[in-house]
Amino acid sequence: MAKYPFSEIEPKWQAYWEKEKTFKAVEDPSFPPDKRRYVLDMFPYPSGAGLHVGHPEGYTATDIYCRYLRANGYNVLHPMGFDAFGLPAENYAIQTGTHPKITTDANIARFREQIKSLGFSIDWDREVATCDADYYKWTQWIFVQLFKKGLAYESDAPINWCPSCKTGLANEEVKDGECDRCGTKVTRKRIRQWILKITAYADRLLADLDGIQWPEDVGIMQRNWIGRSEGASVRFALDGRPETVEVYTTRPDTLFGATYMVLAPEHPLVAAITTQDRKAEVDAYVEAAAAKSDLERTELSKDKTGVWTGVLAINPVNGRKIPVWISDYVLASYGTGAIMAVPAHDERDWEFAVKFRLPIIQVVAEEGSPAARVGTCGDPEACFSGEGVAVNSGEFNGLSTADFKKAITAWLEKQGIGKAAVNYKLRDWLFSRQRYWGEPIPVVHCSKCGAVPVDEKDLPVRLPEVTSYAPTGTGESPLANIPEWVNTACPKCGGPAKRETNTMPQWAGSCWYYLRYLDPKNPDAFAARDKIDYWMPVNLYVGGKEHAVLHLLYARFWHKVLFDLGFVNTKEPFQRLVNQGMILGEDNQKMSKSRGNVVNPDDIVREFGADAMRVYEMFMGPLVVAKPWATAGLVGASRFLERLWAVSEKPLADAKPDAELERLLHKTIRKVSEDTESLAFNTAISAMMVLSNEVAKLDSVPRGLWRDFVTLVAPYAPHLAEELWQRMGGKGSVSKQAWPSYDPALCVDAEIEVPVSVNGKLRDKLVVAPGTAEKELETLALASPKIAEWTAGKQVAKVIVVKDRMVNIVVK
RNA sequence: GCCGAAGUGGCGGAAUGGCAGACGCGGCGGACUCAAAAUCCGCUGUCCUUACGGGCGUGAGGGUUCAAGUCCCUCCUUCGGCACCA
């Protein structure tokens, strides 16, 4: 038997598809809107290492789905491109002097070739790369829209700084106090930054999660990241001073238990209110706190520190004078940067109060406890942060936590010293990078007009050539060293002005690339509105979970801004999201160069073929779960394809398949249809393997059955299917064939086995026609001699019959 | 600490509350071959039994049910995310 010649077949059909533009997507109005699908992969960053076996996992899944949709009469948009700005190319440039553009282009060429070698049905005419000036012109244009809408502003507040990458980082890019990219401990630095006001969209980013079909955990991660909480803001008067301190609390019901206050060391009031005698100590503390990284302030030192400012505040509910402290356990960037401390009911305050011997007053008692009944109690022995019943709270005693919150908020409002308030953990997006290889931020600084956006007609602001790519570390990018580029005229007044030298983060380009695919060559708009209306939103978006709160949050934000400006037709960009599970190394560990467990897809394609690689990756297990690679297991997929090839060498018969085989065919069509639809590719492949094992036993193959089978296989192993299609005399491309249909009546077996159990234990099986009446099943079961053995001498208490499924006899 | 996901043969995994282990890998036995590779056929959870057959089995322990891998409670382990957010 001839070995299946994948190394000839695969390039042959790839060339055919390319030449025939088989997968070109056209905005054909004859497809009604519900017959259009936009299926998108997260585009790759073209690293120097080339494609990884993890990349083709998602790409294969979307490709199978797209091919399935086309066969079912859908017009499908399935593009690919490259996220091409970013640090690796720049760092390589710093080491070698090679321009990042050169490295990036070479890597893109390699990636494109590797992706093409897997036979995906991509419309390559729509390819984009975020580093192309024609592309980033529109990234800059969107930034200008953000600026004009007041959503981009400059700030010199302290930021996360990676000393190794020598650039500022967004909150989302810091993981466990380390730079997400390089693992270096993040420090704090005060430099001028561009910030995007993503917090202005916090409520909508939260609310609109309800309308999209995303994995539950990604939704939860975004919800947690946005971190909405409801509570109250309360203004505290200071004893003998005109200033007031406003705090935010989610537990206004514990106000009677506030025994001290804490300001963040950076709080603007600290310097003003600190008394003369406390000044030296307070200054020293503020200075020490400023020197600490966020990590040192949080993770490394859970041990509370702090100093008293010398000032007392007045608790508005009881007039008690309480000390105002400063401590770095209060974050300047959340709420008002100040808290009322209720040590009896907050773990952190408890710890602080114990350490500094501050009073602790219990004001919440557990439901049903003696204290809850009496309304008062002595000093608590432990912190209780749950909900309960108010005690030691004057007229409010006896109220439940929820009722008390409402009552006290109303009271505060009436007194004019507080109101209901909502807070978010989400911070604004630090958007400037002090690096070279990114989109220049299209702003000009004029001494007269301030920060002025570049005129839209003057976009793009091209990334200039530099002699040194190395980041300066001073808060300026390498662009600052090119006076002829930096010095320009103010777009507003024409006077001398300087260009912004910071660049955008890598996330900028990926915030809207799915829109550029719709109209990639358009010189007049990021995409024509009719094309947006034709395809958007993205119906299925497949990619890794690592972007749960980075790219996916940022892109949603930009999309909403574009929606508000009337440029796009949907509130959300990605209707349905699926995260493919990671492919681990053979050792069950994350694949990495340092572990030496990386599998190169090129090797697999060379040795087993692209179709085998595709089928194996989909057969390994459910798309969404992590699973270890096993090259040994790959041969199973390979043998399946070999078997199909072997079948194609048998003669075709015009006779119909026998009844048994015909039923199997129809059941297989049903199973593969349902499973492909629901992205359960592993079980679809399993079903096709079962059919192939049966067909392989035949001496000649019924033509109709074979035609259907080849069409079923086509989304999974497209090269082989094209070849099989051609060998059986099919015209054109098998990918233009309609998906086979099945007859539900033929999906039912002529005879089925119905298990019979006694007291839940399987004891016999009945062979009956499907649909046999329950009464008859019961009679047959009770008549069985095997069953009689188990019921002998016992009393039949009950017989449960589920038609076509089982019979259970309960005996005593 | 909090939130989320997952624990099933030697391995990857399958199973609308209804025959646990489909399909594949590996292993064992056989056919073909001078021989090997490839291919094909059979067996392959575990324990007891020569066999027929039976007991036990889905991380641990409880519970609901005629019936639980699947539902509920407690716990353990692994992975992912968050982590002084008041």
Query: pLDDT per residue over A668-695, tens digit each?
Result: 999 999 999 999 999 999 999 999 999 9
The structure tokens 């966020």 sit at A294
- Nearest residue to nucleotide B68, by CA–C1' distance, is A760
- Determine the distance between A488 (CA) and B42 (C1') in angstroms: 83
- Determine the distance between A790 (CA) and B50 (C1') in angstroms: 25
- The pLDDT value recorded for residue A570 is 97
Point out the nucleotide closest to A423 (alpha carbon to C1′): B85
- The pLDDT value recorded for residue A571 is 97
- Determine the distance between A67 (CA) and B54 (C1') in angstroms: 51
Instruction: Please tell me whether residue A245 adopts helix, strand or coil conformation.
Output: strand
Which amino acid appears at position A683 of this protein?
Answer: T
Beta strands in A479-550 (DSSP E): 487-489, 496-499, 540-543
- The pLDDT value recorded for residue A460 is 95
Whole-angstrom CA distances from A458 to A436, A443, A519 are 20, 11, 21
Residue A501 and residue A432 in contact, taking contact as beta carbons nearer than 8 Å: no
Helix (H) or strand (E) holding A408: helix A401-415
- Determine the distance between A246 (CA) and B68 (C1') in angstroms: 56
Give the single-character DSSP code of A23. Answer: T
- Determine the distance between A755 (CA) and B7 (C1') in angstroms: 29
The CB density around residue A530, as the number of other CB atoms within 10 Å, is 11
Point out the nucleotide closest to A638 (alpha carbon to C1′): B24
Nucleotides of B under 7 A from a protein CB: 3-6, 11-16, 18-20, 22-26, 38-41, 54-56, 66-68, 79-86
A734 CB contacts (<8 Å, ≥6 apart)?
A710, A711, A714, A718, A721, A722, A724, A725
- Nearest residue to nucleotide B2, by CA–C1' distance, is A224
Query: Of A308, A316, A331, which is closest to residue A261 (Cα–Cα)?
Result: A308
- Determine the distance between A806 (CA) and B47 (C1') in angstroms: 28
- The pLDDT value recorded for residue A367 is 83
- Determine the distance between A806 (CA) and B71 (C1') in angstroms: 20
- The pLDDT value recorded for residue A299 is 62
In chain A, what is the greatest distance between 2 CA atoms, to the nearest angstrom? 108
Hey, what are A77's tokens? 């948009």
The residues of chain A scoring below 70 in pLDDT are 1-2, 299-302
Integer Cα distance of A704 and A794 in angstroms: 55
**CA A610, A611, A612, A617: dihedral to nearest 10 degrees?**
90
Point out the nucleotide closest to A348 (alpha carbon to C1′): B84
Residue A80 and residue A41 in contact, taking contact as beta carbons nearer than 8 Å: yes
- Nearest residue to nucleotide B81, by CA–C1' distance, is A221
Query: Of A694, A622, A693, which is closest to residue A658 (Cα–Cα)?
Result: A694
